Amino acid sequence: MAVLSSDQLTDMRKKMAVGETVVWTKPQLNAALQAIEDWYETNKVAIGTAIDVATAPLVFTAAQKKKLGAYWLLQKASREGA
């Protein structure tokens, strides 16, 4: 599993706090962010395989799959009011 660095955690905590009433502690937010990182690392092969199955015989590159995932996640967050 990839461990998020202090700088990465600090950056994400600052971004999370914008426009929010902070009701969490730094360790709680760090743990939540690390849990997301762990989940992603555990499941990234499965999503890559799902994309390959859905688009066969076309196979997107790893970089293209990352872009697809990023665009989808941003759109999903907008759609659900994040």
- Read off the pLDDT of residues 41-62 as tens digits, 9 standing for 90 and up: 999 999 999 999 999 999 999 9
As a whole number of angstroms, the distance between CA 57 and CA 68 comes to 17
- Cβ distance 23 to 14 under 8 Å? no
> What is the band of 80 on the pLDDT scale with cuts at 50, 70, 90?
confident
Token pair of 15 as six digits: 């971004």
As a whole number of angstroms, the distance between CA 28 and CA 80 comes to 24
Token pair of 78 as six digits: 């907008």
pLDDT at position 36, please?
Answer: 95
